Structure 1
Amino acid sequence: MDTSTLIGGRFKPKDGPTSGAMGDVWTAEDVRLGRTVAVKFLAQRRLMQQGAPTEFAETTARMFEREARAMARVNHSRVATLYDSGEHDGDFYIVMEYVEGKSLAEHLRTGPRLPLERTVRWARQICEGLEAAHTAKVIHRDIKPDNIMITQQGDVKLVDFGLAFLADVTQTHTVAGTPLYKAPERWHGETGSERSDLYSVGCVLYEMLTGHPPFGSAHDDPMTVGRMHQDDTPAPPSAHRPGIPAQLDTLVRTLLAKDPADRPKNAHTTAHAVGELLHVLDATEDTTGRAELPDTPGSNTGLSKRIEALDLRIFELEILHDRSDQPVIEARTEHAELTGQSGDTRGAAALYDRLARDCQDFFGPYDVRTLDAFEGLARWNGKAQRSDRC
């Protein structure tokens, strides 16, 4: 390419290109707005054989067009922004936000093991980006460390929507994807869904926690890796890295469920669950889970274990359901009651207080679930006050 001419009359090539299977990416200056951008060209000439388009070239051209359409739909701080598209000297190009930083793959390959807090924070940001894409009816279908950029400020940007599926548009079917992160149903030939993206998030999260994907390696035969995704169950991350909270093991197990129906409901619920994990890590200072209940006159080991198990169950339910769904409300009510029965009356009142406020937001002030939660708050608060007077 002649770097002395402006691309589209405004983009001046600077550094590059970085070449990939689909095209070349140049760093360029937007002379009109004075900012650095990334310009991605379709490598059309490389994809020609004897002057005629090959089937692969035609497929790649459709993927390139789809990438532009997918990125144009999504406007979110966790997704690289599309600025422009056009044709230059017979080659198609798209102009994207230039993300200054390194890919997650580079961080995993060259850096020390990621701290749990950073792992969880980045996982939440990945889900936030996917939530925006899914809301725009865009299924990414190639979530992997190479397609997750980490900015110099330490934040996530999702890139490379070349395999994206537009859920509301009829388009050519493709089962392409990266074997190490590809959901089981996609190995069966299915197009993929929001929950397929979440399975890929589970693979990425597993690798961030342990240093390797849940199944296979880059050197393994793709079909062998595919059979592992369909048939095998990986060891929990804590088996490879002591100190991982049980909630994090639960999240990974749920994301990696073979049946899409057993995975989190959507990216929004997953982002919320991951956000809750940040509170767990803050409370435990990166150790083994939530703190034990304090010894109180009415406490016993059996109740403590039931409360601990129920705490984990609530976390799992909030991944699989909306927080307003009845199974979540019932489990939180039982959790508050058991906490009070253990002797922690103030803890029970605090749990009921949070539940009552949530129910008020979900269902309104006069719903029976809201009134029941406020009744529980008053009952355990009264017991706590009587205990203080004794």
Structure 2
Amino acid sequence: MDTSKLIDDRYRLTDTPVSGAMGDVWPAEDMKLRRPVALKFLARRRLRQGGAATDFTDWTVKRFVDEAHAMARINHPHVAQIYDTGEHDGELYIVMEYIRGMPLTSHLKKGPTLTLERTVRWTRHICEGLAAAHACKVLHHDIKPDNIMITHQGGEVKVVDFGLASFADVTQSHTGVGTPLYKAPERWNGTPGSVRSDLYSVGCVLYEMLTGRPPFGSPQDDPMTVGRMHQDKTPAPPSAHRPGVPDQLDSIVRVLLAKEPAHRPRDAEAVAEVMRDIHSTLDFEDPADAPGTANLPDIATGGARHSERIRDLDRLIFELQLRFGPDDRTVIKTRAEHAELTGRSGDVRGAAALYNRLGRDCQDFFGPYDAQALKAFTGVARWIRRSDGQ
């Protein structure tokens, strides 16, 4: 490309490009607003040479422009902002925010696994950015460490390349879309993907941040072999590779990597909320630096024969809330079972507290006279009486 000419009489290329499968990203300067930007060109010629359809119709061009306009509506601190779109020398391009930083890939290659604090904080940022994009009806389709930028100042996350892989869906066969190490099982069968497909990819990235490796395969493996792993295999929990990973993170990884999309969290905001809770409650002293673990204490203080079931219910509630929301009837029923079993284990005050919280939540969800709320408050009174009799 002739770097001596302005692009669209406005953008001056300032450095060499970074090349990718979909095109090249050039550092540039917006001469009108006097600010640094990045220009990403969609390499139509390269896509054709790589096996894309040759009848690159006006419809597909319009789709790319419409997608760029949709991305431009996303205004969130954890999403790279899109400013403009255009065409130069027969190649479509978008103008986006210039990010001073490096991709998550570089952080993962630097040596030891990331600290738990960074892992949880950056996953929250990724999901907050995804939630904003999904609210604008924009899917990513290619969440991976290369598309997650970490800024030099403050270590904040910026998710990049929204929508470009979606555009690739109309130019390539489905086996060529997305990155195999992070691609949801349903997308290997040719389906276009969904919000929950993006969340599966988040699960793969989270797994790699926790363990230093993706859940399935390696970059050297045959893509179709990796695809069969995504569809058929269940990875070991992160704690099996890194002792001291909290139960909560094992659980969220398991839910995110569910084979069936319906078994994954309902949306990105639900995952972000979980990450906020984990960040606020866990002691982030990393087991690589100090002895001990960062697990939350077991709610049961006695009754060893019930403790395993209580822990199972605790995890189940966590997963059901992610999938269906806190006001789902199954969640309410499981929380009641959890409270009752806590009391039977000998922790009568804990049971009363759990029933009281459940009752208040049911009132908030369904109204002050909801039958489930009244039933929960009956449980409060019953366990308080037993507490007084001890």
**Cα shift at 1:227:** 1.5
Q: Aligned pair 1:363/2:369, yes or no?
A: no
Q: Would you say the 8 A contact 2:115–2:286 is kept in 1?
A: no
Shift of 1:64: 5.4
Q: 1:379 to 1:47 in 2, by over 3 A?
A: closer
Match of 1:269? 270
Paired amino acid for 2:131:
E
- Give distance in 2, aligned partners of 1:368 and 1:112: 52
Aligned CA distance change for structure 1 residues 227 and 109 (closer, same or farther; 3 Å) = same
Indicate the residue corresponding to 2:151 in structure 1: 151
Deviation at 1:4, TM superposition (A): 4.7
1:243 matched to 2:251? The reply is no
**2:292 is equivalent to residue 289 of structure 1:** no
Match of 1:328 in 2: 331
**Residue 290 of structure 2 corresponds to which residue in structure 1?**
none
**Does the 8 A contact of 2:300 with 2:342 survive in 1?**
no
Deviation at 1:83, TM superposition (A): 0.7
Whether the aligned pair in 1 keeps the contact of 2:131 and 2:267 (CA below 8 Å) is yes
Shift of 1:212: 0.9
Alignment size in residue pairs: 378
Give the CA deviation at 1:107: 0.8
Q: 2:196 touches 2:266 (CA, 8 Å); kept in 1?
A: yes
Structure-2 change in CA distance of 1:280 and 1:309 (3 Å): farther
Paired residue for 2:39?
39
- Asked if structure 2 preserves the Cα contact closer than 8 Å seen for 1:44 and 1:57, the reply is no
Match of 1:123 in 2: 123
Measure how far apart 1:81 and its partner are: 0.9
Contact 2:336 2:355 in 1 (8 A): yes
State the distance in 1 between where 2:342 and 2:94 align: 57
The Cα of 1:148 is off from its aligned counterpart by 1.0
Deviation of 1:268 (Å): 2.5
Per-residue CA deviations over 1:334-381 (Å, capped at 9, x if unaligned) read 323333444444433443443334323322223223333445455556
Contact kept in structure 2, 1:122 and 1:156, CA below 8 Å: yes
Structural mapping, 1:203-222, within 5 Å: 203-222=204-223
Q: 1:351 corresponds to which residue?
A: 354
- C-alpha contact 1:48 1:57 (8 A) present in aligned 2: no
Quick one: structure 1 residues 230 and 45, their matched pair in 2 at CA, closer, same or farther if it must change by over 3 Å?
closer
SS of 2:162's equivalent?
A: coil
The one-letter code matched in structure 2 to 1:105 is T
Residue 346 and residue 283 in structure 1: after superposition, are their counterparts in 2 closer, same or farther (change >3 A)?
Answer: farther
What CA distance in whole angstroms lies between the structure 2 residues aligned with 1:294 and 1:371? 24
Query: Residue 323 of structure 1: CA displacement?
Result: 0.8
Is the 1:303–1:342 contact (alpha carbons within 8 Å) kept by the matching residues of 2?
A: yes
1:233-279 Cα distance to aligned partner (Å, 9 max, x none): 21121111111122322222222222222222222322233333334
Shift of 1:203: 1.2
Asked if 2 retains the 8 angstrom alpha-carbon contact of 1:283 and 1:290, the reply is: no
Deviation at 1:147? 0.7
Question: More deviation in 362-371 or 233-242?
Answer: 362-371
Q: In structure 2, how many angstroms separate the alpha carbons of the residues matched to 1:353 and 1:324?
A: 16
Is the Cα–Cα contact under 8 Å of residues 138 and 164 in structure 1 kept in the other structure?
no
Amino acid at match of 1:12: R
1:229 aligned partner? 230
Secondary structure of 1:149 counterpart: strand
Residues 216-245 of structure 1 show CA distances to partners (whole Å, capped at 9, x for unaligned) of 111111111112112222112111111112
> How far off its partner does 1:326 sit?
0.8
Determine if the alignment matches structure 1 residue 305 to structure 2 residue 308: yes
- Percent identical among aligned pairs is 61
Q: Do the aligned partners of residues 161 and 46 (structure 1) sit closer, same or farther apart at CA in structure 2, a change above 3 Å counting?
A: same
Q: Give 1:86-97 correspondences, 5 Å limit.
A: 86-88=86-88, 90-97=90-97
- Uncovered stretches (5+) of structure 2, i.e. residues with no partner: 288-292
The verdict on how the C-alpha distance between 1:111 and 1:145 changes in structure 2, with shifts beyond 3 A counting, is: same
Compared with structure 1, are the counterparts of its residues 130 and 112 closer, same or farther at alpha carbon in structure 2 (3 Å cutoff)? same
Which amino acid is the alignment partner of residue 119 of structure 2? T
Query: Relative to 1, partners in 2 of residues 1:310 and 1:162: Cα closer, same or farther, differing over 3 Å?
Result: closer
2:40 alignment partner, SS class: strand
The answer to whether the 8 Å contact 1:67/1:164 transfers is no
